Amino acid sequence: MPASSTDMSRRGSHRYHPYSSIAVPLQRPATDGATPGIDISFQLVVFLLLTHLGVPALRPYTSKFFRLSYCNQSTEKYGIGYDDLYFIAFWIILLTGLRASCMKYILAPLSRRWGVSKAKDATRFAEQGWISLYYSMMWTLGMYLYYKSPYFLNMEELWTEWPQREMDGLVKAYYLGQLSFWIQQVLVINIEDRRKDHWQMLTHHFVTISLMATSYVYHQTKVGHLILVLMDVIDLFLPVSKCLKYLGFTTICDILFGLFIVSWLFARHLLFLITCWSIYTDFPRIGPFPVPENWGYLIEPFYDPAGTVCMNNTIMYSFLSFLLLLQVLMVIWFAIIARIAIRVLEGRRADDPRSDGEQDELVEKEQRNNEAPQGSAKNISGNAVSQDRWQQHTGGRQRRALRQPPGWTQDTLASVVYALLGSITVIAYSFFGRLAVNPARGQGNPIGCMGRQVARPYVFLVLTSSGPG
């Protein structure tokens, strides 16, 4: 139907197509930081709970989703087996629901409350906030288990009494929970908009899952636990610094970014390579039985958890190959980190180039193309300016000022961080001072000794506890 004269007068002299209102926007609608999966995740959890409670005949099967399997009542420790897959599947579903609901109902509203107006920034804030929450809990638990373990400050203890076919329940829950998280992360990066380093991240996740699953079935959870603690300490700094950047706290963001660089360099390059060297030099090459001549022993732990487990150079080099592949990926990412650090030293902001996704680039390009034919106005000098810039110049479009959380300023947050670092440094020095006086914890070797038992883990704990201080 042709447009009426009233509509034409309202539109003025601009050209108008009567069907332009049916144009479909290219940009995805905002989701308030949520990801798909809230409903289906909790529906599955509720279905399992109702089945477990309402059908007693199925409890021998449904209970495997909620509790650890293969408990030895005499030792109160746990073995491994196929039933662990039920526990992993349950935690993948639960983590998916917890992540989506936490982002949508807690973190996204919190970002709006604190003045994050852009939908993309609110989504990024929610994502990084969830990662901060997860690693704050899991790294703390992992560090606690490491401190209580017999291989605390003793690298060679990682390889003694192998194979230990049973482990403590909390250690098993921690390891399977971490494995579930990384499998769930593969789903996450394919559900969300792809970022620039999508394939590097996907490769990293698959390598991590392969290493964790293989170390689990080969009863090498000790070294796997240590590597997880080394890796997770990085994610105590980066997500928090990103969240602060979205809130506008640039100074404290740069401080945490500096701590992140230091922890990354020492944990993921120095200490990670020291652990790889320990695998190469201290790895047990002789098991309780001679290695068979055929290749069946390589896959036997996967289909027979109670069968023979062998260790030789082939298995050792397989582990090292995957670990060094992780190191290559981390070197690539550290090059990006170095470029960001240079920008910070030059006085610019610490922006993460990986935060922009492929979809964001397409949307921005489309927006630039759409802005080109728009009407223009003339400024005082007679030069043409775009309609958007004219509205900004005349006050027609006002941006909402960024609201900082009440009672918090950049100087306040910086003071809190410096106070925490100072306290942690004093505690660390006090602890290692007692250890130097009584070196029984290091099995008789003094702190100054650069042997394999004390010196390398000592560097690890100091750096992960006190940062650059």
DSSP states along 283-345: -----SSPPPSSSGGGTHHHH-TTS-----HHHHHHHHHHHHHHHHHHHHHHHHHHHHHHHHH
Structure tokens of 63? 């209970």
Each residue's pLDDT tens digit in the chain (469 positions)? Answer: 555 555 444 444 444 444 444 444 444 444 444 445 677 888 888 899 999 899 999 999 999 999 999 999 999 899 998 999 999 999 999 999 999 999 999 999 999 998 888 888 898 999 999 999 999 999 999 999 999 999 898 888 888 877 788 899 999 999 999 999 999 999 888 887 788 888 889 999 999 999 999 999 888 899 999 999 999 999 889 999 999 989 988 888 888 988 999 999 999 999 999 999 988 887 755 555 566 666 666 666 766 666 667 677 778 888 999 999 999 999 999 999 998 888 878 776 656 655 555 455 544 555 555 544 444 444 434 444 444 444 444 444 443 434 444 444 444 444 544 444 444 444 444 433 333 333 333 333 332 223 233 333 333 333 333 333 3
Question: Measuring CA to CA, which residue among 334, 132, 139, 315 is closest to residue 226?
Answer: 139
Shared-domain flag, residues 211 and 83: yes
In whole angstroms, give the CA distance from residue 457 to residue 435: 13
Is 270 domain-assigned? Answer: yes
Shared-domain flag, residues 302 and 445: no
- Cα separations (Å) of 68 from 116, 164, 389? 42, 17, 61
In whole angstroms, give the CA distance from residue 469 to residue 467: 5
Q: What pLDDT score was predicted for residue 13?
A: 45
Shared-domain flag, residues 351 and 463: no
In whole angstroms, give the CA distance from residue 315 to residue 287: 12
Is the Cβ–Cβ distance between 41 and 184 less than 8 Å? no
Is 462 domain-assigned? Answer: yes
Is 1 domain-assigned? Answer: no
In whole angstroms, give the CA distance from residue 378 to residue 393: 12
Q: For residue 178, what is the enclosing H or E element? A: helix 169-191
Shared-domain flag, residues 327 and 454: no
Q: What pLDDT score was predicted for residue 165?
A: 85
Is 403 domain-assigned? Answer: no
Shared-domain flag, residues 334 and 436: no
Q: Name every residue whose Cβ is closer than 8 Å to that of residue 37 and which is 6 or more positions away in sequence.
A: 96, 97, 99, 100, 191
Is 367 domain-assigned? Answer: no
Q: What pLDDT score was predicted for residue 26?
A: 43
Question: Measuring CA to CA, which residue among 273, 175, 283 is closest to residue 228?
Answer: 175
In whole angstroms, give the CA distance from residue 327 to residue 224: 15
Indicate if the alpha-carbon torsion angle 56, 60, 66, 68 is positive or negative: positive
Helix, strand, coil percent content, the chain, rounded in steps of 5: 65, 5, 30
In whole angstroms, give the CA distance from residue 151 to residue 174: 17
φ/ψ of residue 118, rounded to 5: -75, 140
Helix (H/G/I), strand (E/B), else coil: 469: coil
Q: Work out the angle at residue 255's Cα, subtended by the Cα atoms of residues 250 and 257, and round it to the nearest 5 degrees.
A: 90
Shared-domain flag, residues 319 and 452: no
Q: Which residues lie across from 376 on neighbouring strands? A: 386
Q: What pLDDT score was predicted for residue 360?
A: 52
Shared-domain flag, residues 436 and 342: no
Is 386 domain-assigned? Answer: no
Is 447 domain-assigned? Answer: yes
74 DSSP assignment: T
Structure tokens of 13? 């002299």
Shared-domain flag, residues 210 and 340: yes
pTM over 0.75: no
Shared-domain flag, residues 352 and 431: no
Q: What pLDDT score was predicted for residue 354?
A: 58
DSSP codes joined into one string, 22-40: GPPPSSPPP-TT--S-HHH
In whole angstroms, give the CA distance from residue 184 to residue 166: 26
Q: Work out the angle at residue 81's Cα, subtended by the Cα atoms of residues 80 and 82, and round it to the nearest 5 degrees.
A: 145
Q: Name every residue whose Cβ is closer than 8 Å to that of residue 74 and which is 6 or more positions away in sequence.
A: none
Q: What pLDDT score was predicted for residue 209?
A: 96
- Cα separations (Å) of 369 from 24, 28, 364? 15, 18, 9
Last residue of a domain, one of 325, 356, 387: 356
Shared-domain flag, residues 201 and 308: yes
Indicate if the alpha-carbon torsion angle 370, 376, 380, 382 is positive or negative: positive
Last residue of a domain, one of 356, 374, 406: 356
Q: What is the CA radius of gyration of the chain?
A: 28
Domain that holds residue 152: 38-356
Shared-domain flag, residues 55 and 186: yes
Q: What pLDDT score was predicted for residue 365?
A: 52
Is 33 domain-assigned? Answer: no
Is the Cβ–Cβ distance between 29 and 88 less than 8 Å? no
In whole angstroms, give the CA distance from residue 229 to residue 234: 9
Last residue of a domain, one of 356, 386, 406: 356
The count of C-alpha atoms lying within 13 angstroms of the C-alpha of 441, restricted to the half-sphere facing its C-beta, is: 18
Shared-domain flag, residues 285 and 432: no
Number of domains the chain is built from? 2
Is the Cβ–Cβ distance between 114 and 404 less than 8 Å? yes
Structure tokens of 33? 């930081």
Terminal CA-CA length for the chain: 74
